[in-house]
Amino acid sequence: MNRGRILVIDDEKNIRHLLKNELSAEGFAVFTAKSGEEGLKLLTDKNFEIVFLDIKLPKMSGMEVLRSLKLKTSRTEVIMITGYGDIETAVESMKLGAQDYITKPFKLSELLALINQILIQKGRTEDIAPQMDGRVVAVNSGFVGCPSPAMREVYDLVERVGATDVTVLIQGETGVGKDVIARLVHSWSPRKNKPFIVVDCGLLNQNLAESELYGHGKGAFSGASEMKLGLVEKSHEGVIFFDEIGNLEQDMQKKFLRFLETKKFRRVGETKEREVDARTILATNLDLKDAAQRGVLRRDLFYRMDVITVYVPPLRDRKEDIPLLALHFANRSGSAKKADRISREAMAALAEYPWPGNIRELRSVITKATLFLKSDEIGLQDLPPHIVGSKKTKISAPQSLEDLEKDHIIRVLQQTGGNQSLAAQILGINRKTLYKKIHKYGLFS
């Protein structure tokens, strides 16, 4: 699927090849030019959604190319490529119409976050189908794909199990989006056009739970003036999703186990056994193994549920996803005012916050931020104090180039768990050079 055209203008052959290979793999049609003149000629012949433009080019500079490009078209968004020494120029380029800038060395996840931000603003995401290769941005049904490796693994597993009929257990903290993953499994199933019935086990009334799940016959108990279909029966040919299954009362667990094993049940007050053809998806924020060991959950029920498990990681473990998710919520906040952009300072604060409430908390923060916006951009002033206060790097006096380099090396080493070979690869330098910089900045542990 062609997700759009991207032009890369850079005099470094390695950069051109890297971006062409990586972004082509993401589904984009990628063209390259080694000079500003060559890039402008391509812009005359073809339409592009996005241009990656190096600031330092031979003969015609990146700033000159940007001015000429903006005279040709206002529809093409430009992301400037720069080194630390050219950040002031990059900021100046945004005044001339550049969408953003990215500094060398950069990571693919950073590029994808910027591209996804632009696609959201252009409204290009609405036509993208929910492909589970980790490259989906957003679709009408509300799914937001994310660039983090952790979520790519989740999407890969969902695609594989979606086409089957096995019971799926989705685990993860409160607010990570287990219900969204459940619907995603359903969307990949042959049953996708059949009912999707949700049972919130945390809200089931213990006295009425059996009737709610399995239904009841007329006269089954006082007040049962007519027959009632239960949620299980309503899910016939479709999917029944038991949310927060760990909250199911002990008295209900034995009958529920039998239903899981046989898909058979009895309405309350009846002796006739009935059967449904329904797929079961379960979700919980509890450690079910621990619950089984403590006797809160029947061991036989735990073993029956533990077939295929999809673990959804917390947001603090996949911060690469925050920019895309935040922009998605900003554009679909439900308030009268929508935000098209989030400032770099605000996005940095969002990235630093640990998000104990995960995606649910992020959605709430962004929705509140849009309520009283005075522009189309969310800034630090629009975020709550506890979010702004979590930002580790405060806005302060400008750092020296050496300080910036040192901080960046520390951050990459932390992200790679101290793996110097991988860190050097990310930084775009050889390991020997990295070793010298580690020694220079006294970063030995």
Q: Considering only CA atoms, which of 400, 335, 407 is closest in space to residue 365?
A: 335
Nearest-angstrom CA–CA distance, 280 and 169: 9
What pLDDT score was predicted for residue 46? 83
141 contacts 183 by C-beta, under 8 angstroms? yes
Q: Within its chain, how far is the Cα of 132 from the centroid?
A: 12
Could you tell me if 352 and 390 are in contact, meaning their C-beta atoms sit under 8 angstroms apart? yes
User: Which residues in 102-135 are b (16+ Cβ under 10 Å) and which e?
Assistant: bbeebeebebbbbbbbbbbbeebbeebebebebb
Match 């554009």 to its residue by tokens: 331
pLDDT of residue 445: 42
- Let me know: does 4 contact 119? Beta carbons within 8 Å: yes
The answer to whether domain 1-106 and domain 149-311 are alike in fold is yes
Ordered by start, the domain boundaries in the chain are: 1-106, 149-311, 401-440
Scan for tokens 């849009």, then name that residue: 370
Q: Copy the structure tokens of residue 190.
A: 């042959």
Beta strand ranges found along 14-136 (DSSP E): 29-33, 50-54, 77-82, 100-103
Q: Which residue has the higher pLDDT, 93 or 64?
A: 64
Q: What is the mean pLDDT of residues 255-278?
A: 91
CATH 3.40.50.300 fits 149-311, yes or no: yes
Which tokens belong to 248?
């199911």
Alpha carbon 162 to chain centroid distance? Answer: 19
CATH number of 401-440: 1.10.10.60
pLDDT surpasses 60 at 391: no
For 138-147, 168-177, 212-221, 229-238, which range has the lowest pLDDT when averaged over its residues? 138-147
DSSP type of residue 59: S
Q: Please tell me what DSSP assigns to residue 126.
A: G
From the DSSP assignment, how many helices (H) and strands (E) are in the chain?
19, 14
Mean pLDDT over 129-138 rounds to 34
What pLDDT shows up at residue 2? 60
With cut-offs at 50, 70 and 90, classify the pLDDT of residue 121.
low
Cα 9 to the center of its chain, rounded Å: 29
* Residue 33 confidence (pLDDT) above 90: yes
> Is residue 348 over pLDDT 80?
yes
Long-range contacts of 303-309 (CB under 8 A, 24+ apart): 304/167, 304/257, 304/260, 304/261, 305/167, 305/169, 305/245, 305/260, 306/169, 307/166, 307/167, 307/168, 307/169, 308/157, 308/161, 308/166, 308/167, 308/168, 308/169, 309/168, 309/169, 309/170, 309/171
pLDDT band, residue 127 (cuts 50/70/90): very low
Confidence grade of residue 262 (pLDDT, cut at 50, 70, 90): very high
User: What's the mean pLDDT in 232-238?
Assistant: 93
- The pLDDT confidence band at residue 146, using thresholds 50, 70 and 90, is low
- Contacts for 398-404: CB closer than 8 Å, 24+ residues apart: 401/84, 401/85, 404/84
Range in 187-196, 261-270, 367-376, 394-403 the model is least confident about: 394-403
DSSP at 84: G
pLDDT band at 7 (very low <50, low <70, confident <90, very high): very high
Domain 1-106 listed as CATH 3.30.750.24: no
Q: What is the pLDDT of residues 183-227, one digit of tens each?
A: 989 988 889 889 999 998 877 776 678 888 998 888 778 777 788
Q: What is the pLDDT of residue 103?
A: 77
Is pLDDT above 90 for 234? yes
Model-level pTM greater than 0.85? Answer: no
Yes or no: say if 171 and 161 are a contact pair by the CB < 8 Å rule. Answer: no
- In the chain, the percentage of residues whose pLDDT exceeds 70 is 83
**Spatial separation of the C-alpha atoms in residues 342 and 330, rounded to whole Å:** 8
φ/ψ bin of 359: left (φ > 0), alpha (ψ from -120 to 50), beta (otherwise): alpha
| The pLDDT of residue 130 is above 70 | no
d(CA 6, CA 21): 12
* Tens-place pLDDT, residues 357-378: 899 899 889 988 888 888 878 8
Cα separation, 380 vs 95, in Å, equals 20
3-state secondary structure of 248: coil
Closest to 149 (Cα-Cα) out of 111, 109, 95:
109
Task: Write down the pLDDT at residue 135.
Answer: 36
pLDDT at position 217: 85
In the predicted model, what is the mean pLDDT of the chain? 80
